[in-house]
Chain A
Amino acid sequence: MIKAILIFNNHGKPRLIRFYQYFAEDMQQQIIRETFHLVSKRDDNVCNFLEGGSLIGGSDYKLIYRHYATLYFVFCVDSSESELGILDLIQVFVETLDKCFENVCELDLIFHMDKVHYILQEVVMGGMVLETNMNEIVAQVELQNRMEKSEGGLSAAPARAVSAVKNMNLPEMPRNINIGDINIKVPSLSPF
């Protein structure tokens, strides 16, 4: 089981949090802080597993994370998950994001948290791995987006126009903070 999925940036700002077990909001924030504290002080060339200890769920749980440019993707899992499998899963998830957002960068996650959630929902459900095939995930996400668009129809047009206008005068929104090297060598990657 996956207990929680956290995405935060190099400064510990949460970009997406998904707990599969209930924690009150302040507890959630504390978990994020502590996880960030644990993860951020690790070099990039050390292993990607951390024993979570007292953080969530006790000794059976591990933190498995990957660091891409400005973002940390942290999965908190128990011993029924394969460590290398989860690392692959993170990679699949990030590559899926990359496909869905076309060169994903931190800003995509910042402004489209809801969409990231929808993508995640196609990968993991209720703490269990739902789908690991990227093409299948992307296909499902796109079908749903298409449906959303068709529902929007005319009535949503003005709102979209306004939001486009709002986005126009946005010089401070740089598109170049790419998540970067998502094709980090994954030793265990096999055709899943």
Chain B
Amino acid sequence: MALKIVKGSIDRMFDKNLQDLVRGIRNHKEEEAKYISTCIDEIKQELKQDNIAVKANAVCKLTYLQMLGYDVSWAAFNIVEVMSSSKFTYKRIGYLAASQCFHESTDVIMLTTNQIRKDLSSPNQYDTGVALTGLSCFVTPDLARDLANDIMTLMSHTKPYIRKKAVLIMYKVFLKYPESLRPAFPRLKEKLEDPDPGVQSAAVNVICELARRNPKNYLSLAPLFFKLMTSSTNNWVLIKIIKLFGALTPLEPRLGKKLIEPLTNLIHSTSAMSLLYECVNTVIAVLISLSSGMPNHSASIQLCVQKLRILIEDSDQNLKYLGLLAMSKILKTHPKSVQSHKDLILQCLDDKDESIRLRALDLLYGMVSKKNLMEIVKKLMLHVDKAEGTTYRDELLTKIIDICSQSNYQYITNFEWYISILVELTRLEGTRHGHLIASQMLDVAIRVKAIRGFAVAQMATLLDNAHLLTGNVQRKGICEVLYAAAWICGEFSEHLENPMQTLEAMLRPKVATLPGHIQAVYVQNAAKLFATVLKSGEGSADSTAAQEMMIERLPLFVQSANLEVQERASCILQLVKYIQKLQQKDVEIAEEVIALFAGELNPVAPKAQKKVPVPEGLDLDAWINEPPSESESEDEQPKAIFSKEEPKHSRPRHTEVDEKELAKRREARKQEQANNPFYIKASPSSQKVYQEAPGVEHIPVVQIDLTVPLKVPGLPMSDQYVKLEEERRQKDRADKKKKEKKKRKEKRSGRGKKHDSGPESEEDITPAHMVDIVTEEMPENALPSDDDDKDPNDPHKALDIDLDNLVQKAAIRPLADSEKLPVRSHRAAEVLKSPAEDGDAERSVSQEPKKKSSKEKKEKKKDKDRDRKKSKEEKKKKKHKHEDKGEDLLGGQEDEPVVQSEETSEVAAPPSSTTAEVSDLDFWLSNAPVPSNTQGAATVAAAAAADPVPEAASGAAPDSEPEEPKDTEAEETKSSKHKKKKQKKEKEEKEKKKKKKHHHHHRHSDAGGEESVQNGTVEEEEPLPPMSNYCLLAENSYIKMMLEDADQVNDIQGNLQDGSQVVVSVIFENKCESFLKSMEFNVLDSLNSKLQRPEGSGAHDGLTVPFQLPPGVSNEARFVFTMQSIVMPQKLKGTLTFIVKNEDSSTHEKLDFKLHFTCTSYLITTPCYSDAFAKLLESGDLKCSSVKLEGISMPFHHLLARICFHHHFSVVERIDSCASMYSRSIQGHHVCLLVKTSDQTVSIDAKCDEPTLLGNVLDEIKQTFSQC
């Protein structure tokens, strides 16, 4: 035994390693397959050994063989074994092999979950890295679900190397397990601001990939990306972001406006071509999205076109190619600016590089006009002749056809020219596109009636010279053209000059060598021709000759191997024989024969069938007959020799039915047919619409002299048309000029000069034919939708998830239970209680930090700070927004009639976080033009009211810093303003003390109790009930005031530095039919709290509400209050005065209200981590207090969510039915809660460094729960 092991290890030295294998394969070039199969046998032996090194070596070799195309999936289990080796060397080999050959249906993948999890949490970063890399290649939905949480954790790893890999792999996880997107998104977003550029770049990468597929969900990130774009110097990141903006702009044109400037700057400044190119691309996308909106973007287009021209003229083929590519995008919306570079594009057609030629062709497609179509096509035809290589020639051919046929032959003025082009194209050697030409010929001949005569003549020539087309074996594809030619000649045979000759051409013995389906058409149309000949002169020499020819030649086709040909030929042969028989009896038969082929064929739109709606009550999946039962199989008929002779079982056998029954059925059938869109009714369909070219009646149809013999097929003729057309146009122009001169003489108006010197405009060109393009038929009541091009299997569909409400961190719409990432748990108990576990988004976040090192904590703090900053910005933004709104209203309706108001109450509209986020975006997008729009005093007033903080302090002109990227700067100024203000406040305070009036009112109480309805009833529901921060403040028949909870997270945080400000948002809604204006908001200040007023106004002056309200409109204003002490709840009494104005009168009205500042409203939701929380409790400087709530029946998580929402707490940690919560007041008091629940009893132990505040908060909590 021992000996065996020793022997094994010595053998191992002489095992082949990868290099030996490669060498061996190279030395056995002759019999490579054989050598490899012996190697595989060796590998199989090696895999059987216990030694992991041997196995790893074998797996390594297998990876190589896999590259050579050998299936190595049989070794999947061994690969897993090697993956699980503890040595990095082998692990790496294993993961590499797995990434090369594992895929979703590899069943051993199931076995790897735990191994991968172990590797992910390995202390060695390279183990983790290797596992992440491997996983990125073979992640399955199961793996994604099981490992999502582990990877999430890795996104905050200390090592940037791991972080960036974890961030990148999240994209793959999202793809496989879309449910993970919502929970993971906030962290992903956080990584956009990671200190490590690699991680940042990875996060940008992932979000860009996500956003590319579902851009609308990521619009709200635009400000963040904008910031990154203006700050980042990493070109990779910039390119990605700029590309992303390209995808976003179509959804939000305002974004485009904002982007143009920085992008143009980049275009001017960057030296990196790749960046320049992407900038140009995105500017183009912006311009496309703006195409109607901005008048002055022509400069940007010019810039783009210029830069692209530089690219195209560059000697570097890559730049040339990309330049053309981008040019084609501009072309779609701004064809004029591209058309001026036609010379350059045509030049590119001569380029030696095929890709570039193809790009140039694409461009030409969009550049044609009626004027230059012939010229361009002529150029292309020259290229067709010169082109070598069938692919390029075929491409040219399809492009020519595309160019000509685009938008219903819009640019073709002369269809005779087009037909000759098509005929010329048939002479192409070895093209595959015969059927394309054929279908064009058919289409034109059918839809352009005026051209039929000419087309038939041309086709007859083609048929006559069919040998030229079929002679060469290489030309197989082109004989499709004969299909069209034969059909056109047959169908429109009345236009044929010499039907006999064509008939002869169609019945030549050589025809039998054509493909079956073409022969069939030949035979059928020969019959049509025959009918025409017969009609033209019954009994004449021609018709008898035709008859004889038919009888003589058709038997050849009767013998055809092709069933279709055979069947048609024998039918027609018999028909002709019968006709002959009748004619011998001197019966006039021509009319009847021609009737066989009478009737017009109309083109049907290609999508027509799809568009037919399934009639009601028709189930296409239902059996028409009962499916044949098993037992029936015995009476199966013996198999027929020819499958078509098989008897049709499905046809129902009619047993005898009495007359009555039959009549009834007939009636029913008629009824059905009448309602059936599929059934062709006897009356001509009403929907045949013949499109008349606009105003064609007035255009003189120029007769084209066709003296040139058209019958010589070798001679290109289209050129003549070009010349003719030129002449015709000149003549036209001359005519027009004459007319104009006349007119001018008559009218003596001198402004016609332009027409003389300027180039002829599109309208000047008149079509040579009465172009009567028949539209394609569509079924009646066809569905107009055009959504047939979507791929139902697109994995990105599942990722179309609304992320907006996640972006705001507040617990407004927490992740639902089902959305949480599955966390691995050891104890069954935890699994059981999981239903109660949801309810707060904070928890999953707050739990993780426990594992992290202290270093992490520091980062966390930074994060927190960042959060705070963010919310500050947000607040600012909101303020600006109000400013905007105010202005709009002021600007728009200043002179309108006005009204006034009083007092009532109602339930607030629930503001969802989404709208908040979106409106932030709105603001961000709309703020750019604000400064330019502002007008005089109105703005000052608006700004003063909307942003009273800086205003009161500095008394300066309205704060107009619309660009939030400068946030740091802004913040500094702000804080300094705060200081000033404090001083001022103190002054005011002194003044206040002199006053003796203190009005204390409860804002809830006189609201009619409706608020409690809102809060109480709704919340019983099982999923977290919607909770609203808005409650009714006061209402009367004119106006409704709704109060937003005095300090939303954003508001207060902005004022943390000050520590004594509360912002109140009030929504004013006009409920009456009249116009409300001159609203003034005033509050009687108390000793402790007072309204901030602009400098210079007295302590009793009201604040002007910065907007007016037209009927039915609501708007929001914000007021800042200064608080001295926050330990006690405050009540303030206030009045709103306004003027109600209607057509004949205007009255002053007022509405009284009471503002209630609860202690809760001084609290700010502040996340806290359990270790910090523990420290806080240990510190011992907190006072204790507790409260018990009885009869609470709501689930625990609802209870927590409610405390979080209404009282601005965050959950620190939660264990079973016990949770610790934290909040902080605006003056920095810590409030800690321990909430326990058992049997409808909730006990809350609380600690705070300010006992009065604590007592009041607890009272308020108690009150909240007593209401439900």
Contact = CB atoms under 8 A, between A and B. Distances in A.
B96 A118 contact: yes
Contacts of A192: 234-236
A162 B271 CA distance: 53
A110 B137 contact: no
B64 interface: yes
Nearest to A48: B318
Interface stretch (B285-293, B351-359, B1044-1052): B351-359
Contacts of B1138: none
Contacts of B66: 25
A121 interface: yes
B20 A83 contact: no
Contacts of B172: 126
Contact of A125 (B168, B208, B356): B168
A128 B278 contact: no
Interface stretch (B40-48, B319-327, B725-733, B892-900): B319-327
B13 A158 contact: yes
Given A49-B318, A158-B13, A144 B92 contact: yes
Interface in A131-186: 131-133, 136, 140, 143-144, 147-148, 151-152, 155-156, 158-159, 162-163, 166-167, 170
Nearest to A147: B88
B93 A114 contact: yes
A128 B171 contact: yes
A80 B133 CA distance: 21
Contact of A84 (B64, B243, B273): B273
A140 B69 contact: no
Interface in B157-178: 161, 164-165, 168-169, 171-172
Contacts of A163: 17, 19-20
A20 B137 contact: yes
Nearest to B102: A22
Contacts of B316: 187
Given A50-B355, A114-B93, A125 B169 contact: yes
A84 B321 contact: no
Nearest to A152: B89
A111 B321 contact: no
B510 interface: no
B18 A151 contact: no
Contact of A47 (B68, B92, B124, B318): B318
Nearest to B66: A25
A76 to B, nearest CB: 15
Interface residues of B, number: 77
A126 to B, nearest CB: 3
Contacts of A126: 133, 136-137, 168-169, 171-172
A111 B353 contact: no
A131 B234 contact: no
Interface string B316-359: 11111110000000000000000000000000000011111010
A42 B358 CA distance: 14
B209 A1 contact: yes
A113 B63 contact: yes
A83 B54 CA distance: 43
Contacts of B88: 144, 147-148, 151
Given A47-B356, A151-B89, A159-B12, A128 B322 contact: no
Contacts of B319: 187-188
Interface stretch (B198-206, B404-412, B454-462, B692-700): B198-206
Contacts of B63: 113-114, 117
Nearest to A140: B161
A129 interface: yes
Interface in A67-87: 80, 82-85, 87
B212 interface: yes
B13 A162 contact: yes
B308 to A, nearest CB: 14
A63 to B, nearest CB: 10
A28 interface: yes
A34 interface: no
A69 to B, nearest CB: 19
A126 B1055 CA distance: 45
A100 interface: no
A92 B67 CA distance: 23
A93 B137 CA distance: 19
Given A25-B69, A51-B355, A192-B234, A84 B198 contact: no
Contact of B274 (A45, A50, A190): A190
A5 B124 CA distance: 29
A35 to B, nearest CB: 14
Given A47-B318, A125-B168, A111 B18 contact: yes
Contacts of B14: 162
Main secondary structure on A side of the interface with B: mixed
A147 B122 CA distance: 15
Contact of B164 (A121, A130, A162): A130
A189 to B, nearest CB: 8
A132 B277 contact: no
Given A46-B354, A80-B208, A130-B168, A147 B234 contact: no
Contacts of B60: 114
B994 to A, nearest CB: 68
Residue from A17, A24, A82, A129 whose CB has the most chain B CB atoms within 10 Å: A82
A132 to B, nearest CB: 5
Contact of B278 (A16, A82, A156): A82
Given A125-B136, A192-B236, A84 B168 contact: no
A152 B318 CA distance: 46
A43 interface: yes
Residue from B26, B67, B92, B96 whose CB has the most chain A CB atoms within 10 Å: B67
Contacts of B318: 47-49, 83-84, 87, 187-188
Interface in B289-328: 314, 316-322
A71 to B, nearest CB: 14
Given A82-B274, A84-B273, A147-B126, A14 B67 contact: yes
B343 to A, nearest CB: 21
Contact of A85 (B26, B236, B314): B236
A59 interface: no
Given A45-B317, A125-B133, A148-B88, A85 B67 contact: no
Nearest to A110: B22
Residue from B64, B89, B278 whose CB has the most chain A CB atoms within 10 Å: B89
B206 A83 contact: no
Interface in B172-231: 172, 198, 201-202, 205-206, 208-209, 212
Nearest to A113: B64
Contacts of B19: 111-112, 163, 166-167
Contact of A143 (B126, B169, B320): B126
A49 B93 CA distance: 33
Contacts of A102: none
Given A47-B321, A111-B18, A113-B64, A84 B277 contact: yes
B899 to A, nearest CB: 55
Contacts of A42: 354
B69 A28 contact: yes
Interface in B641-698: none
3 closest residue pairs by CB, A with B: A126-B136, A190-B272, A84-B274
Interface of B: 12-14, 17-20, 22-23, 26, 53, 60, 63-64, 66-71, 87-89, 92-93, 96, 100, 103-104, 124, 126, 132-133, 136-137, 161, 164-165, 168-169, 171-172, 198, 201-202, 205-206, 208-209, 212, 234-236, 239, 243, 270-275, 277-278, 314, 316-322, 352-356, 358
26 contacts: A18-B100, A22-B104, A25-B69, A80-B209, A80-B243, A82-B239, A111-B18, A111-B23, A121-B96, A125-B168, A126-B136, A128-B168, A128-B171, A130-B165, A132-B201, A144-B88, A148-B89, A148-B92, A151-B88, A159-B13, A163-B19, A187-B314, A187-B316, A188-B277, A190-B270, A190-B272
Given A14-B68, A17-B67, A166-B20, 5 more contacts: A47-B356, A113-B63, A114-B18, A136-B198, A163-B17
